[in-house]
A and B are shown apart, each in its own frame.
Chain A
Amino acid sequence: MALDQSTQVSDDALLALYANGDPLAAAELTQRLAPRLLSFANRMLCDLAEAEDVVQDTMLRLWKIAPKWVPGAAKPSTWAFRVASNLCTDRLRKRRGVGLDEIAEPVSDAPDMETQLMQTERATALDDALQTLPDRQRQAVVLRHIEGLSNPDIAEILEISTEAVESLTARGKRALATALASRKEELGL
Chain B
Amino acid sequence: MTRPPKSALDEGALDALFDAAPKPAPSAALTARILRDAQAHQPQTAPPALPQRGLFGALANALGGWPTLGGLATATLAGLYIGIAQPDLLSGQIIGVTADATEEDALTGLLPGDSLFFDTAFLDEG
Contact = CB atoms under 8 A, between A and B. Distances in A.
Interface stretch (B2-10, B77-85, B110-118): B2-10
Contacts of B14: 173, 176-177, 180
B55 interface: no
A60 B31 CA distance: 12
A177 B8 contact: yes
B30 A52 contact: yes
Given A26-B38, A181-B8, 10 more contacts: A20-B45, A21-B43, A27-B38, A34-B31, A51-B24, A123-B22, A178-B4, A180-B9, A180-B17, A181-B7
Interface in B1-58: 2-5, 7-11, 13-18, 20-27, 30-31, 33-35, 37-39, 41-45
22 contacts: A18-B42, A19-B42, A19-B43, A20-B45, A21-B44, A35-B23, A38-B25, A52-B30, A55-B30, A60-B34, A63-B37, A67-B43, A123-B20, A123-B22, A127-B21, A145-B18, A146-B21, A176-B9, A177-B11, A178-B8, A180-B8, A180-B17
A35 B25 contact: yes
Interface in A158-176: 173-174, 176
B20 A177 contact: no
Nearest to A59: B34
B18 A26 contact: no
B42 A63 contact: yes
Which of B13, B15, B34 has the most C-beta atoms of chain A within 10 angstroms of its own C-beta?
Answer: B34
Interface of B: 2-5, 7-11, 13-18, 20-27, 30-31, 33-35, 37-39, 41-45
A176 to B, nearest CB: 6
Contacts of A48: 24
A26 B43 contact: no
Interface in A5-32: 18-21, 26-27, 30
A73 interface: no
A104 interface: no
Given A19-B43, A123-B22, A146-B18, A26 B35 contact: yes
A174 B38 contact: no
Nearest to A63: B41
Interface in A62-102: 63-64, 66-67
The residue among A48, A174, A181 with the most chain B CB atoms within 10 A of its own CB is: A174
